[in-house]
Structure 1
Amino acid sequence: MSDTGTEASEDRAEAEPEATAVAADLADERLLQSKGLSGWLQMQVNRLRSGDLGNLPVIIGLAVICIGFYAENARFLSSRNIVSITQYAAPIGIIALGIVLVLLLGQIDLSVGSVSGMAAAVMAVLMVNQGYSTLVGMLAGILVGVAVGAFYGLLFTWIGVPSFVFSLAGLLGFQGVLLLVLGENGTINLPSDSYLLEFTRFSFVTGWQSYALVALLVLGFLGSQYRSSVKRRAAGLGTPWWPMVLARAALLGGGLGFLTYYVNIDRGFSYLWILFVVLVMFADFALRRTVWGRHVFAVGGNVEAARRSGIKVNRVFMSVFVLTSTLAALGGLLAAGLQTSVSQASGTTDTNLTAIAAAVIGGTSLFGGRGSAYSALLGILVLQAITSGLNLAGVESEVRFMVTGAVLLIAVAIDSVSRRARSSSGRG
């Protein structure tokens, strides 16, 4: 009896680690293993019930917007209009990408528009008035963004000035610097032979190059999934269900392939748009796959807990403020190239509101700790689609502002509701 009881106890002890691992695997969605199609569907249902909506609302909203404007005017979904939407969305989308980063920390930067205009003015003065090359002018403009971000970081980490206060001061102050730099003329036309204008206005990816980019994206997606599976299997965690991974890859390749074929009917995707997408992908990789990215989410979720866990909180804040202002400066330079000039209207309040609205509408939480680099891409597509659709419908600009405000309010309301749902389900 004693021997039998001892053997049974040993068997239970050996089984306990495996049972515990399985329990942990099922208790934490990040460790969940999809058991076929039904398991994957159940996981998606559980996410929605718990308030983890991800990018679903903005994707549905974008689809509704496209269908509605197409019903009003068939030209909305023409190849030429889609190319124009993506091309003109890119500069402010790059600025919105910086806003996503600062919102992830639960902070805000209200001066990105003014910084973008000031950087563009510095570039224009150096190129036109001082005779420097485009490269020197662009580097000087980007360094302006770096300097502003570093200054903001010092104000926040050393002195403790709230981000709302110093960025509001920057909005006003840097707009004054813009007027000062431009001088009495108020407008500087960029040289027509500048490769900045060539890049932003006339360079497009067509033919086999565009399809090669689609193939690279699909292969990159599969490689990322395979790498993740290898690491999770080595750690004893659940792995993705590969038939679903392959189905998603096929859907991604097919959708992008058709879209590429369709825009190639006109001019193809602009290099400006491709640059924006590459920056979004790079930011997404940095946020999800690097230590720095995990620290950004940790600080945005709970600053004090992050500090006590050993994270260099001040370094995280400093890096994000620098990146936000640098991306704002880059967006301003590209916008100047697209518009062929810099004026007193460059980087005005409309730029600030559009960039911030794009980040929030795309799904980045105002409360910090939740969001994605793709929020900038989806959000700016929504806003640019609204602008283009209303312009085709002949609607006045004041209506566009009202519609944008309504969409922003809806996005924040959805975020608040999903946040309460996550809290009630124990997801925080």
Structure 2
Amino acid sequence: MTIADRVPTRPRILATVGLTTVRRHPLIAVLAAMVLAFQLATGSFLDPANLGGIATDAATLAIVAVPLALLVISGYLDLSVGSTLALGGLVAGRLASSGQPPVVAVVGALAAGAAVGAVNGVLCCYLGLSPFIVTLGMLTAVRGLAQQLFPLPLSGFGDGFAWFGGARIAGLAAPVVIAAVVLAVGASFLALIPAGRHVFAIGVNREAAHLSGINIRRTPFALFVATGVAAALAGAIKASVLDSVVAGTSGAGFELTALTAVLVGGVALTGGSGSILGVLLGVLFLGGLQNGLTLLNVPTFWQQMAQGVALVAGAALAYFAPRPGR
């Protein structure tokens, strides 16, 4: 064997990197198998129009899943995102229908989401209450507040506000572009900013992180606020796309879908482990699964069962995926 034979060629290097990536994110293989199966079964799953629809539908889920994943990595949880989504959509819709500029409507929605996130953050991060109990209570409280403030369905928000959810930017739907920006910001936060590394440290061992000089309250609090803002933004986008929003049904069950995407994507519910790439894969998996089952005319209750099975399967994949030191 010559020296040249021992030097890895570019294809061999790429193959090794690709195999390593698949081993770390086994959902890639599952996602590829699912796409192939749906394409063979429907013949139209990979049509550009259908893929564009999947991306647009999954965009709002990605927008919320990214900050929610960071929150879970830090050892916390937010179950109120579905109700916050509804509140954000209602606030934006009311402002838009009253003649306010679209920017004002969206900013109003973001402020409402930030308020919900701040309440969650104060109660969980500074008062030390259980995130599960607090955000479960906020799920009901925020939904009730939305129904009290907006007892009637809202619709007819105007062309200006419709642009926010239906515009095309460089050939892509505006929600997809927004989701891409959120994903990029989330990945950069974890990789390039010290606070991103603190998220993992807090999730692994909060006491050790505190002794290391990390502010174990400020970062999770900011993530609670970011999650609330993202949920409200998703609500404004949905209201723009549908040109209507109903307090009692908008965002119902969304918290389970978002959490499923996060956990299927390999984020550990116990904190300290996860990646933005995994979250993206989880979002695409759920979006593709729902779309494929819809193309096959599978009843809704079977789709819900499939989502539950996906959550359990995601937990198994996360457990058997290789981790440092195991």
TM-score, length of structure 1 as denominator length? 0.70
Q: Which residue of 2 aligns with 1:114?
A: 83
Q: Which residue of 2 aligns with 1:218?
A: none
CA distance in structure 1 between the aligned counterparts of 2:150 and 2:95, rounded to whole angstroms: 11
CA distance in structure 1 between the aligned counterparts of 2:14 and 2:92, rounded to whole angstroms: 51
Aligned residues: 317
Match of 1:167 among 105, 114, 135: 135
What is the correspondence of 1:327-366 to structure 2 with a 5 Å cutoff?
Answer: 327-343=230-246, 344-349=248-253, 351-366=254-269
Q: Which residue of 1 aligns with 2:207?
A: 304
AA partner of residue 205 (structure 1): A
Instruction: Work out whether 1:54 is the aligned partner of 2:24.
Output: yes
Q: Is the 8 A contact 1:101 1:324 kept in 2?
A: no
Instruction: Work out whether 1:189 is the aligned partner of 2:160.
Output: no
- My pick for the range that moved more, 93-102 or 305-314, is 93-102
Instruction: Work out whether 1:273 is the aligned partner of 2:176.
Output: yes
Q: In the TM superposition, what whole-angstrom CA distance separates every residue of 1:78-132 from its partner, at most 9, and x where no partner exists?
A: 111001110111012211112111111122111101011011111212222x432
What is the correspondence of 1:146-295 to structure 2 with a 5 Å cutoff?
Answer: 146-183=114-151, 185=152, 187-194=153-160, 196-206=161-171, 269-295=172-198
- Counterparts in 2 of 1:393 and 1:42: CA distance versus 1, 3 Å: closer
Q: In the TM superposition, what whole-angstrom CA distance separates every residue of 1:114-162 from its partner, at most 9, and x where no partner exists?
A: 011011111212222x432222121111011111111111111332111
CA distance in structure 1 between the aligned counterparts of 2:165 and 2:108, rounded to whole angstroms: 19
Q: Which residue of 2 aligns with 1:209?
A: none
Q: In the TM superposition, what whole-angstrom CA distance separates every residue of 1:318-376 from its partner, at most 9, and x where no partner exists?
A: 11111111111111111111222111311112x11111111111221212111112333
CA distance in structure 2 between the aligned counterparts of 1:117 and 1:300, rounded to whole angstroms: 29
Instruction: Work out whether 1:394 is the aligned partner of 2:297.
Output: yes
Secondary structure of 1:76's counterpart equals: coil
- Counterparts in 2 of 1:190 and 1:105: CA distance versus 1, 3 Å: farther
Match of 1:98 among 64, 67, 71: 67
Q: Is the 8 A contact 2:157 2:240 kept in 1?
A: no
Q: Is the 8 A contact 1:189 1:340 kept in 2?
A: yes
Q: Is the 8 A contact 1:94 1:376 kept in 2?
A: no
Q: In the TM superposition, what whole-angstrom CA distance separates every residue of 1:173-214 from its partner, at most 9, and x where no partner exists?
A: 11111211222x2x11142312x31232242523xxxxxxxx
Give structure 1 stretches of 5+ with no counterpart. Answer: 1-34, 207-268
What is the correspondence of 1:357-376 to structure 2 with a 5 Å cutoff?
Answer: 357-376=260-279
CA distance in structure 2 between the aligned counterparts of 1:395 and 1:412, rounded to whole angstroms: 24
Q: Is the 8 A contact 2:266 2:317 kept in 1?
A: no
CA distance in structure 2 between the aligned counterparts of 1:363 and 1:308, rounded to whole angstroms: 28
AA partner of residue 182 (structure 1): F
AA partner of residue 124 (structure 2): F
Q: Which residue of 2 aligns with 1:28?
A: none
Q: Which residue of 2 aligns with 1:256?
A: none
AA partner of residue 348 (structure 1): A
CA distance in structure 2 between the aligned counterparts of 1:341 and 1:113, rounded to whole angstroms: 16
Q: Which runs of 4+ in 1 moved over 6 A?
A: 38-45
AA partner of residue 105 (structure 1): S
Secondary structure of 2:139's counterpart equals: helix
Identity %: 30
Instruction: Work out whether 1:384 is the aligned partner of 2:287.
Output: yes
Q: In the TM superposition, what whole-angstrom CA distance separates every residue of 1:20-74 from its partner, at most 9, and x where no partner exists?
A: xxxxxxxxxxxxxxx84578877888x69xxx9432x111111111111111111
Q: Which residue of 1 aligns with 2:55?
A: 86
Q: In the TM superposition, what whole-angstrom CA distance separates every residue of 1:225-246 from its partner, at most 9, and x where no partner exists?
A: xxxxxxxxxxxxxxxxxxxxxx
Q: In the TM superposition, what whole-angstrom CA distance separates every residue of 1:228-287 from its partner, at most 9, and x where no partner exists?
A: xxxxxxxxxxxxxxxxxxxxxxxxxxxxxxxxxxxxxxxxx3222122112101110111
AA partner of residue 158 (structure 2): S
CA distance in structure 2 between the aligned counterparts of 1:347 and 1:294, rounded to whole angstroms: 31
AA partner of residue 399 (structure 1): W
AA partner of residue 129 (structure 2): V
Q: Is the 8 A contact 1:125 1:181 kept in 2?
A: no
Q: Is the 8 A contact 1:110 1:168 kept in 2?
A: yes
Instruction: Work out whether 1:139 is the aligned partner of 2:107.
Output: yes
Superposed CA RMSD in Å reads 2.1
Q: Is the 8 A contact 1:157 1:318 kept in 2?
A: yes
CA distance in structure 1 between the aligned counterparts of 2:15 and 2:278, rounded to whole angstroms: 24
Q: Is the 8 A contact 1:100 1:375 kept in 2?
A: no
**Structure with greater Cα Rg:** 1
Q: Is the 8 A contact 2:265 2:280 kept in 1?
A: yes
